[in-house]
Structure 1
Amino acid sequence: MALKRLRDFLAATYHEVMDELENPEAMLKQYLREVEKEIEKAKDTIVKQQMMGKEFARQLEEAKKLAARREKQAQIAFQAGEEELSRKAFAEMKHYEAKAKEYQEYTVKSEEQVKELREQLGKLEKKYQDLKDKKNDLVARAAVAKAKYSMNATLSFVASDSALKEFKRIEDRITEMEIKANSYANAGLGGEDLSFAKVEYADEVEQELEKLRGTKSETDNGKEASQS
């Protein structure tokens, strides 16, 4: 009964510890996997942002070329007396110049965003490496904490009145069994079959009988002498 109680108590204690601490190694691995996912997302974002930056730069150059072409066309049209065509070409030139300015801003902004993302990625990767280095230490500390918790809980149970009473009851029961066993052993001595002793100790028995006969003879002779 006491052993079952102890076993049940230890099982309950173990589950209690596990509920409180869960599985630190699994938790840390899961956390590291989440950080790895964020790192991969950040890398993908940087690649996409770089591609967008290149596209903005390409569109910037294209807008500059178109603006320069329209300016040249406007000048040619004006020299040819085609003022309306010149006006139209200048309008398109202004449009492409505005687009070039817009793409220039996009390109600069994209470069700044890539730089910022790279800095954040660097911090995240450093933090990730720090966590990997610390994981084993945390797992070891958690294992020690669980072991101490379990041992202290066991010591507390063993030292409790309930456990002491249970062990005292078992001790009393064992003592009672020992007393009964000894009493049965002593009771068996009187009923033991010793018929073999008549043969094994025949000579010695005869010597003892001779002693008794001699003593009896001396006693009888003494009585006869006193009567005379």
Structure 2
Amino acid sequence: MNTLFEKIKQAIKDDFYEVAEKQKQSNPISLLNQYLRESEAEVKKASKLIERQKLLKDEFYKEWKQAETMADRRRHQGEIALEAGAEDLSEIALREQAQYEERAERLKQGYENSMNQLEELEHKYREMKLKLKDMHMKRLELMGQENIVIMKNKMNRVLKESEFGIPAENLENIEKLFDREEKKANDEYDISLFDARIQQLAKEINKQETGELRNNS
């Protein structure tokens, strides 16, 4: 029994969330808020990518300059070895000089590529931030439109209803009912007044007849 109850409760909960989600999806401001959150998350990712790219660029630059320094050192060492007649050392120095120069060239190219990539990322990042600002402005515009729609709906309800919250057509029926009751009360009053006057006339006639009888006797 408990298991069945839990299943029913979960099914009701799922239906509720499904309806709530559909209502949320049909609301343009809710959709825009969701898109804003997703865009803000992407902007944060882009910011982190830029920081990583800057580190990569700095690393390329450092390695490039170190390779250039080592190439110059091996060149200078090769010259010293050649002057000293140590041709074997001179050959080693010249070979390593070439290796460092080749490495320096690759690192220089990597540095330049990382610079171009960084500029592209920063350009895209600025575009994303501007787009995000535009979306925030659009959200404010939609909120303003939503306020107008809500106010118009409330005003329409006020115009259609009386100050007591009664629909206009029902209010007309109530007014007609009061009119009928008022007419009925007036008719009853007129009838009561008529009866009272007739009763008064009857009393006067009775007095006259009584007086005549006394005079004759």
Tell whether the structures are fold-level matches, with TM greater than 0.5.
Answer: yes
Q: Which amino acid aligns with 1:210?
A: K
Determine the structure 1 residue equivalent to 2:50: 46
Structure-1 separation of matches of 2:114 and 2:57: 5
Structure-1 separation of matches of 2:102 and 2:43: 37
Gap change, CA 1:151 and 1:22, over 3 Å in 2:
farther
Determine the structure 1 residue equivalent to 2:160: none
Residues 47-83 of structure 1, C-alpha deviations (whole Å, 9 max, x = no match): 2211211111111110001111111222222233322
Structure-2 separation of matches of 1:122 and 1:38: 12
Which of 108, 113, 123 is residue 112 of structure 2 equivalent to? 108
Which of 87, 96, 105 is residue 92 of structure 1 equivalent to? 96
Verify: 1:134 aligned to 2:131, yes or no: no
TM-score (structure 1 length as normaliser): 0.57
Q: Which amino acid aligns with 2:110?
A: Y
Verify: 1:77 aligned to 2:81, yes or no: yes
Is the CA contact 1:24–1:142 (under 8 Å) kept in the aligned structure 2? no
Structure-2 separation of matches of 1:21 and 1:144: 21
How many positions carry a matched residue from both structures? Answer: 171
Structure-2 separation of matches of 1:43 and 1:20: 30
Could you tell me which runs of 5 or more consecutive residues in structure 1 were left unpaired when the two chains were aligned: 1-14, 153-166, 190-200, 221-228
Verify: 1:124 aligned to 2:128, yes or no: yes
Q: CA deviation at 1:133?
A: 1.7
Determine the structure 2 residue equivalent to 1:26: 30
Determine the structure 2 residue equivalent to 1:211: 208
SS at match of 2:85: coil
Q: CA deviation at 1:141?
A: 2.6
Determine the structure 1 residue equivalent to 2:167: none
Gap change, CA 1:33 and 1:20, over 3 Å in 2:
closer
Structure-2 separation of matches of 1:214 and 1:140: 91
Task: Tell me the C-alpha RMSD between the 2 structures.
Answer: 4.3
Larger radius of gyration: 1
